[in-house]
Structure 1
Amino acid sequence: MDIGKRRWQWPLTILAGLVAIAAHASGAPEQSLVQRIEALQAGYAVQVLGDAILARQTLQRFYENRGYRLAWAQESRREALADAIERLPRDGLNPADYHGELLQELARRPEATLSDDLIADRDLLFTDAFLLAASHLADGKVNPESIHAEWTLTGRRTDIVPLLTRALDNGSLAQTLQDLRPRNADYLKLVQAREHLSRLLGQPWLPIPDGPSIRPGDTDTRLPVIRRRLIALEDLSANASASSELYDGELEAALPDFQARHGLEPDGIIGRQTLDALNLMPVERIRQIDASLERWRWLPDSLGDTYVLVNIAGFRLQMVRNGKEVLHSRVIVGRPFRQTPVFSDRIRYLVFNPTWTVPRKLMIEDQLPEIQRDPDYLERLGIEVFEGWGADRRKVDPGSVDWDTLSKNRFPYQLVQGPGPKNALGRVKFMFPNRYDVYLHDTPSRYLFGRQERTFSSGCIRVERPFDLAEQLLANDMDWDRQRINDLLATGETTTVVLPIPIPIHIQYWTAWVDEQGHLQFRDDIYHRDGPLINELRHSALADRQLPTPVAVSPTTIAAGRIHKTH
């Protein structure tokens, strides 16, 4: 790169009298630095060597705190940051978003070859790079509300300025950036998996063609390619035969593990879905990992000493106590048109033998059509009908209601299902009151847990092992054990049990993670949320710069033409 040429690539003048910043073509670097910061304060966008300065307010505060002195005069500091920025792909971040190319070019450039203006420019670049990278590592690059409209969780929101000041003072720039990453072991395992998977980038990855399903004992010309693909992904031993066209026992032992890692039925049959998973390119897998890493950065530093974690896309619940998993369970989540929201809260109480008051939307959209089709529907499921609400409501004989005349605009009833084996909530529900009316609960439809993709609910989360979860949540209360829970269930009476200490619950959405055995897992993007997030992660704010055409010419050129007014 020719810095001399790039430095002057955006000649621009500004309107006379808009800002009171004196022209200064040469002079001490710190004077040049002050000029650029004054331009930022005046609302002008500053570009350095073609790259926009983006951490505008934080950068101003940093230099104000240090009396507008240069921060990056020492080559060792610049080298440390430039090298740390080059390592950001490990975390799914692009060095180009943090002036990576310019930092490498300027880090070791001899001071004698630079003008005062360029020394000031260099300082701004390095400060901007650190502030941006640190903010994105600590709190995420993408605003989660742009992907999850219902997002309510507040992340870490780290104040970067004092961190940069300390890092410059004690020479810990690289370590400071590293320490800003989430410290959760799941995040660090994903970072390692990404780095390991990156070895496949650039390797030939030709699509395996469609064809008849391949079963154990079959021969097929596609099998050598499938074998090599499984070896590359380390699902098949590197010592395995890579040329055989026979589906032998070696392959039969490896393929179900590959299928399970991708959320497929581990039946050992190579059909359309298995081929799709085999054809998933390394870069696509890495982008899934990048989306999951970003979602981890949105979360607080600590999820709690004891907490429940639900992965919607993984159809999985786990409970963690003091850093160790004490329970895991399959779950059923919301259908694509009734998605389970992403949020965090605290489980505050449990209800055994619950009743179910059907939400109005479900009464109209789900229950009413069933009642109209089947006159015995309500009696068969033990659902009672009430007219009105609250203390004034009265029980109504379902046979006296003309259901065919009802609609969403005329439905003056409540439907309430009593406790029992047919209750839609099962025998226990776990409550954390929230604006989405979402909670965890048991279910009588237990056969659905055998499905690989489990999007069957109306937004709430059905738990396969609800009584194990209840036992774990009540473990700190000496008055409760599994026998007492069973005795309470046997009474059939609706009973509320308040937890002495509410337990945090985090309902999240990851399509890539590393499991307890160290296996990298992938799942389908059931709610189509990865695509927008990946696009935002790949998008660079530095590519957005659009230089306006000047509408008038000032006799004074500011900072050698690198300042233009922000629109």
Structure 2
Amino acid sequence: MQEARYPLTLYCLLLALVFAVPARAQGNDGLINRIEALQAGYPVSVLESRLYAKEALTRFYEARGYTLAWEDPSNRRELLEAIRAVAGDGLNPRDYHYDTLAALALKDLNDSAEELQTDLDLVLSDAFLLLASHLHHGKVNPTTIHAEWTANRQQREMQSVLSEALASGTVYTTLQDLKPRSAAYHQLVQRRKALGELISADWPAIVSGPSIRPGDTDNRIPDIRRRLALLGDLSGDSPEASNHQHYDDALATAIPLFQARHGLEPDGIVGRDTLTALNLLPLERIYRLDANLERWRWLPESLGETYVVVNIAGFELVLVESGEQVHRQRVIVGRPYRQTPVFSDRIRYLVFNPTWTVPRKLMIEDQLPIIRSDPEYLERLGFKVFRGWGANQSEVDPAEIDWTELSKNNFPYQLIQQPGPQNALGQVKFMFPNQYDIYLHDTPAQSLFSRLERTLSSGCIRLERPFELAERLLANTNGWNKKRIEQTLATAEPATVVLSEPVPVYLQYWTTWIDPAGVLQFRNDVYDRDRRLLQALRADSEGGQSLTPRADNRPTARTD
């Protein structure tokens, strides 16, 4: 009896193993084989096109029992039309198997070999899933600045989106609806189209030379006049006037407008920077738009009813309420070597009369050299010096410290600036705790806001008119108004106020955008981020990159 148990036990074990192995799916064998190869991690190419949407393709075909999905030629036609159209959004149709599909998708495949039908079905599905992902999330992963080819970021179940689009026969409109809904995005698309019409225009470089002022006569003025007319800054110019070499009243109006929308001093003087902006090629302008269209695709579908946007490259903050810009002001952002990062969060509380605990890096790199050269610096600006941290912290008389002996590896102190008019954070800071230790704050250095390029901080965002923003953000927090803010400031004691409802804040980097007046704005790429983003955006699916022309040879500094 004892010997008979082993064969029975072995039989049961084998039976369990058989039922533990999933049965091979029923359906189109070609689909099953290719999906299994994808799941196993093999690179799968069909019709000379590699399949990329591994997980989404698997879920899509599993859900439909491994049957063909694109038998309706109208669905294939709509997909091809949608792929062709994304060139207007700054995306490359070839990334979505356009060449392969253009040759096959519109043909009658009823009499074609089953293998061809299967392969085409897979390519069509892969194209839709990739394009849907790129329109909805962006092609480039903002955290790595690499092109995203998996189509597996799960903000939306794209395989479900594909199933619904095929069932309803709405492939084209479904893909269109995945684009950012913001009017600002679609306005940029329209301006991109208009700039595309200028690519074939004669665009000779306007040569450098002495600055041109109102009333001057210069042989470069006809080219300047034609350039401004093409870009829409000068209207109503007669053919006769276009050849005049005199800086007249029409130019005196058009040139400051052009300068202002390029972030230049609108003084009407055509100097080096204005000539550089005038010489920017239509294609270079289109590249700028492409980079910023991609940045829009990184943002969530809805920014909220009330939110704050800081445009780092534009040195501006905007508060939006119910879709309307109700407040805007100038800001100061991080220096090129201490760049303000791009991210989103929520403003949760404000601190009036804040203290400033100097970050260790700033203590060593910025404060220590000043203290050594100016013994009265700490007292004059209201700093206290502490040894240790937390419960063991104790105040130290700065006069007892030999500051010449301190260094990066020997700095056992903390510097804390007390509330007051000289505090580096001013009298209020807006907190959205984040991994970068970035926040918005007041500043005593108000004169710096008169500068056009304001990359002057250590990373945080300084506000020109912080109390106007504070008053608006606290409008829905019980008991807080302008009078109470003034009373709190008068105490000179730190006070924390939690917002009744956190307000989303988006720190963005837009080098071109449409302003509320409908004017296309351009700004300098102060952190040199556009080029790297464009290289990633133009990277093909095999990992190659197409280089983008640029006006200078500065090295890439940082990603978005």
Classify 1:111/1:180 alpha carbon distance in 2 versus 1 (closer, same or farther; 3 Å). same
Partner of 2:329: 329
Return the offset for 1:295: 1.3
Question: Is the Cα contact below 8 Å between 1:155 and 1:299 reproduced in 2?
Answer: no
TM-score under structure 2 length normalisation: 0.88
Taking the aligned partners of 1:354 and 1:45, their CA distance within structure 2 comes to 57
Classify 1:542/1:398 alpha carbon distance in 2 versus 1 (closer, same or farther; 3 Å). closer
Return the offset for 1:415: 1.5
Code of the residue aligned with 2:451 in structure 1: it is R
Partner of 2:283: 283
Classify 1:414/1:40 alpha carbon distance in 2 versus 1 (closer, same or farther; 3 Å). closer
Classify 1:92/1:212 alpha carbon distance in 2 versus 1 (closer, same or farther; 3 Å). same
| Equivalent residue runs for 1:72-221 within 5 Å | 72-111=70-109, 114-147=112-145, 157-221=155-219
Classify 1:385/1:45 alpha carbon distance in 2 versus 1 (closer, same or farther; 3 Å). closer
Structure 1 residue ranges (4+ consecutive) displaced by more than 4 angstroms after TM superposition = 542-545
Aligned pairs, how many? 512
Taking the aligned partners of 2:171 and 2:51, their CA distance within structure 1 comes to 20
Partner of 2:421: 421
Question: Is the Cα contact below 8 Å between 1:134 and 1:160 reproduced in 2?
Answer: yes
Partner of 2:399: 399
- Relative to structure 2, which stretch is displaced further, 136-145 or 112-121? 112-121
Taking the aligned partners of 2:530 and 2:458, their CA distance within structure 1 comes to 21
Code of the residue aligned with 2:423 in structure 1: it is N
Question: Is the Cα contact below 8 Å between 2:185 and 2:293 reproduced in 1?
Answer: yes
Taking the aligned partners of 1:112 and 1:158, their CA distance within structure 2 comes to 33
CA deviations 1:389-431 (Å, max 9, x no partner) are 2343333222222211211111222212121111111111111
Classify 1:45/1:147 alpha carbon distance in 2 versus 1 (closer, same or farther; 3 Å). closer
Instruction: Specify which of 33, 52, 55 is matched with residue 54 of structure 1.
Output: 52
Partner of 1:26: none
Taking the aligned partners of 1:366 and 1:543, their CA distance within structure 2 comes to 42
Partner of 2:522: 522
Taking the aligned partners of 1:454 and 1:146, their CA distance within structure 2 comes to 27
Code of the residue aligned with 2:250 in structure 1: it is E
Taking the aligned partners of 1:120 and 1:205, their CA distance within structure 2 comes to 49
SS at match of 2:307: strand
Partner of 1:367: 367
Return the offset for 1:185: 2.3
Return the offset for 1:294: 1.1
Taking the aligned partners of 1:242 and 1:83, their CA distance within structure 2 comes to 41
| Equivalent residue runs for 1:481-520 within 5 Å | 481-520=481-520
Return the offset for 1:339: 0.8
Partner of 1:549: none
Partner of 1:467: 467
SS at match of 1:45: coil
Code of the residue aligned with 1:296 in structure 2: it is W
Question: Is the Cα contact below 8 Å between 1:155 and 1:298 reproduced in 2?
Answer: no
| Equivalent residue runs for 1:233-382 within 5 Å | 233-239=231-237, 241-382=241-382
SS at match of 1:200: coil
Taking the aligned partners of 1:459 and 1:543, their CA distance within structure 2 comes to 33
Code of the residue aligned with 1:233 in structure 2: it is L
CA deviations 1:168-201 (Å, max 9, x no partner) are 1111101100111111222222222222222112
Return the offset for 1:278: 1.0
Classify 1:423/1:106 alpha carbon distance in 2 versus 1 (closer, same or farther; 3 Å). same
Instruction: Specify which of 36, 39, 43 is matched with residue 41 of structure 2.
Output: 43
Taking the aligned partners of 1:238 and 1:536, their CA distance within structure 2 comes to 41
Classify 1:112/1:393 alpha carbon distance in 2 versus 1 (closer, same or farther; 3 Å). closer
Taking the aligned partners of 2:402 and 2:38, their CA distance within structure 1 comes to 70
Percent identical pairs in the alignment equals 59
CA deviations 1:243-283 (Å, max 9, x no partner) are 22111111111111111111111111111111111111111
Q: What 5-or-longer segments of structure 1 have no aligned partner?
A: 1-28, 149-153, 546-567
Partner of 2:22: none
Question: Is the Cα contact below 8 Å between 2:421 and 2:427 reproduced in 1?
Answer: yes
Taking the aligned partners of 1:315 and 1:518, their CA distance within structure 2 comes to 19
Classify 1:331/1:427 alpha carbon distance in 2 versus 1 (closer, same or farther; 3 Å). same
Question: Is the Cα contact below 8 Å between 1:139 and 1:158 reproduced in 2?
Answer: no
Taking the aligned partners of 1:339 and 1:80, their CA distance within structure 2 comes to 43
Return the offset for 1:50: 2.1
Partner of 1:66: 64
Taking the aligned partners of 1:65 and 1:201, their CA distance within structure 2 comes to 46
Partner of 2:388: 388
Partner of 1:447: 447
CA RMSD of aligned residues (A): 2.0
SS at match of 1:409: coil
SS at match of 1:175: helix
Classify 1:461/1:177 alpha carbon distance in 2 versus 1 (closer, same or farther; 3 Å). same
SS at match of 1:476: coil
Higher relative contact order (CA 8 A, sep 6+): 1
Taking the aligned partners of 2:42 and 2:260, their CA distance within structure 1 comes to 54
SS at match of 1:231: helix
Code of the residue aligned with 2:210 in structure 1: it is P
Partner of 1:552: none
Code of the residue aligned with 1:162 in structure 2: it is S
Taking the aligned partners of 2:497 and 2:35, their CA distance within structure 1 comes to 59
